[in-house]
Amino acid sequence: MSPARDGLAEPAPAKINLTLHCAAPRADGYHPLHSLVVFADWRDTLRAEPADTLSLSLEGPGADGLRDDPHNLVLKAAWALRAAADKPELGARLVLEKHLPVAAGLGGGSADAAAALRLLNRLWSLDFSLKQLAEIASVVGADVPACVWSRPLVMEGIGETITPLVAWPALHGVIVHPGVALSTADVFAAFDTQGPASKLAANALRPVAGTAEAAFGRILEGRNDLESAAMSLAPPVGEVLKTLGRLPGARLARMSGSGASCFALFDNAGEAEAAADTLCAQQPGWLVRPVVFGGALS
């Protein structure tokens, strides 16, 4: 039986880049970015119970894709938290229930790592604040600080500069994964060959907040700079975007992160659910999920 099924558990929601503006790489190879990020009610779940050693087991429909990974970000996050607390003796038995697809542009691994930081902070009674956990997360992975917050936010720098948004509304959408994996490193390499802009667009730095209609306007002003590079490596991404864009009620269709997952936004839950039903009937090989891009984790 998995630990703490009725007790200590932490959600790891999918991360969606509503916009993703990228600049040319710095001298260290990292790309400065500006991204408007939200989190969906589609998630992995991490559970924990006290133990003398630190261990991780995997279950759920997405577990097979991670079983051979000796560098799982959940354990990396746990090690980083122990180091920050200067308590290498701390242990826990962790079970990750994996539902999000791997290498899909949904930040699944980063979300899992962030959940580990929040969960173990509670289990081990360390009392780090979310801000402190986000600082610890920066050594785990570029997207992990944003996932620690798991609320609407703007992400800048190489992911370490986070501005939570207090007035961003919940939005309804559909996420589609066409069943192909994309390496983030490969997508950025293809992006570099296409001659990226040397600096971020000025309108990327405008503050965001307000009603749903204002949110749609802000999102439509943006883009995902990695779409073309991703489509050059995985043509199904382009097919997904075209299909999403033709759905009744779709306000926009865009790729998330480095792909291959894409999303469409709708005015209400009924339209999003109807779109998901249509896609499931037309494209049985795609993974389709109607979602709400909501607020902060409770």
Active site residues: 15, 143
Q: CA-CA distance, 176 to 242, in Å (whole number)?
A: 12
Q: CA-CA distance, 14 to 32, in Å (whole number)?
A: 22
Phi-psi category of residue 210: left, alpha or beta, with phi > 0 → left and psi -120 to 50 → alpha? left
- List, in sequence order, the alpha helices (H) in 16-126: 73-85, 108-123
In sequence order, what are the residues at sequence separation of 6 or more whose Cβ sits closer than 8 angstroms to the Cβ of residue 47?
2, 3, 4, 5, 8, 9, 10, 94, 95, 97, 119
Phi-psi category of residue 60: left, alpha or beta, with phi > 0 → left and psi -120 to 50 → alpha? left
Contacts 24+ apart (CB under 8 A), 52-57: 52/91, 53/91, 54/78, 54/79, 54/82, 54/90, 54/91, 54/92, 54/94, 55/91, 55/92, 55/93, 55/94, 56/94, 56/95, 56/96, 57/93, 57/94, 57/95, 57/96
Question: 91 near 53, Cβ under 8 Å?
Answer: yes
Whether omega for the bond prior to residue 85 falls within 30 degrees of 0, making it cis, is no
User: What is the chain's length?
Assistant: 298
Question: 267 near 172, Cβ under 8 Å?
Answer: yes
Q: CA-CA distance, 213 to 203, in Å (whole number)?
A: 18
